């Protein structure tokens, strides 16, 4: 049972992500304001994370926070939480929950492409691992394009409800909402990829990840609150949670989507590594698509189905290439050394692998 426990935990986490996507979509369609919801979610996450980080501070190594470190945390929280969730909720409303979870599998490919441009990821045209990462990236990009543009025959039929709180929907005709939603979700994935890359210098400057998570939740709460006040200052009713669905959505997303899953995911990564955790990501896409079709009666198109499959295939190709590259580095280091790696050296290698920006689930989705 102990060997199977990480797999059970990861499956349960994907179910949590799927339920969260469905709840968010349903609440947004019913009229919940996405900017206010983002503030409430981060406020609840802060109330959960800060006491845990405070009472566990004795077990964690002390970390010094200077002005530059604080500024880096502030910028990282704004990009990875505020901008990411703002774009995501707009796209979730305009497109669908199944599209949102399917396009989330673009994160490894976008991160690899960005990291390669910045020189963080090395690309060797003669190595199979690099070719696999590039091929997987192409699959992901083509799949995302198919989901946005190649809709094809409609498998399930329902129209998008009238606009409620979307910032831009009123400026576009109904035929453009699907594409606009996909563009918002893609922008959200780009923000998340930048957040992953920023984790590399941030983890070096401030290695206490539990305290770092609490700081990000707190700062993102302040940032999202300021944005919500600026945009909704003339609509006090937007701050009211008028239904049990909205209250449930805020607490579920804040506690489980931003609090509990951090500990569960960190535990799984410590047992099996980030690659093992990332391999379960497409499962949430499958669960969300099935539940959304059954309970929310969302639109499902042939193009979306084929595009989602291409994104998932591309994800596995990228992760396979990353895994092979890690093995090549370990084998090269063992050949260069006079003796096999000691347990301490292997632990160091594993720690270095955790800091690779390509793998999505080291991103501690608590934010």
The 8-class DSSP code of residue 301 comes to E
Question: 248: buried, middle or exposed (CB in 10 Å: 19+, 13-18, 0-12)?
Answer: middle
Low-confidence ranges of the chain (pLDDT < 50): 60, 157-164, 166-174, 338-367
* pLDDT score, position 78: 93
pLDDT tens for 2-58 read 667 877 888 888 888 888 888 888 888 888 888 888 899 889 989 988 888 888 775
Query: Could you tell me the pTM of the whole model?
Result: 0.72
- Residue 49, C-beta contacts closer than 8 angstroms, at least 6 positions apart: 210, 213, 214, 217, 258, 259, 262, 366
* pLDDT score, position 226: 93
Question: Residue holding tokens 């990564």?
Answer: 269
* pLDDT score, position 30: 83
* pLDDT score, position 344: 37
Instruction: Judge contact between 301 and 310, C-beta under 8 A.
Output: no
Tokens at 86, concatenated? 């703002």
* pLDDT score, position 273: 59
* pLDDT score, position 219: 92
* pLDDT score, position 146: 76
């Amino acid at each position: 049972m102990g060997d199977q426990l990480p797999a059970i935990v990861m499956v349960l986490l994907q179910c949590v992500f799927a339920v969260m996507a469905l709840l968010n979509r349903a609440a947004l369609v019913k009229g919940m304001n996405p900017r206010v919801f983002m503030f409430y979610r981060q406020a609840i996450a802060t109330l959960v994370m800060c006491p845990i980080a405070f009472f566990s501070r004795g077990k964690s190594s002390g970390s010094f926070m200077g002005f530059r470190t604080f500024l880096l945390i502030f910028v990282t929280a704004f990009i990875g939480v505020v901008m990411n969730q703002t774009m995501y909720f707009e796209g979730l409303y305009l497109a669908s929950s199944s599209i949102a979870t399917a396009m989330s599998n673009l994160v490894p490919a976008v991160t690899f492409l960005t990291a390669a441009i910045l020189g963080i990821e090395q690309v060797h045209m003669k190595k199979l691992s690099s070719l696999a990462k590039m091929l997987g990236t192409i699959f992901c990009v083509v799949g995302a394009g198919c989901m946005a543009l190649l809709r094809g025959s409609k498998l399930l039929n329902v129209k998008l409800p009238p606009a409620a709180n979307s910032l831009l929907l009123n400026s576009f005709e109904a035929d453009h909402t699907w594409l606009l939603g996909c563009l918002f979700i893609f922008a959200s994935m780009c923000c998340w990829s930048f957040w992953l890359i920023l984790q590399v210098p941030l983890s070096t400057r401030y290695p206490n990840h539990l305290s770092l998570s609490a700081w990000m939740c707190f700062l993102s709460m302040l940032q999202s609150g300021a944005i919500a006040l600026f945009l909704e200052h003339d609509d006090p009713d937007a701050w009211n949670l008028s239904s049990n669905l909205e209250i449930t959505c805020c607490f579920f997303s804040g506690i489980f989507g931003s609090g509990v899953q951090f500990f569960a995911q960190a535990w799984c990564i410590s047992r099996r590594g980030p690659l093992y955790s990332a391999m379960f990501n497409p499962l949430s896409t499958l669960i969300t698509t099935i539940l959304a079709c059954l309970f929310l009666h969302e639109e499902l198109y042939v193009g979306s189905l084929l595009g989602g499959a291409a994104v998932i295939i591309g994800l596995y190709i990228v992760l396979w290439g990353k895994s092979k590259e890690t093995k090549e580095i370990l084998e090269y280091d063992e050949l260069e050394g006079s003796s096999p790696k000691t347990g301490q050296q292997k632990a160091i290698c594993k720690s270095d692998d955790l800091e690779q920006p390509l793998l999505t689930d080291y991103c501690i989705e608590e934010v």
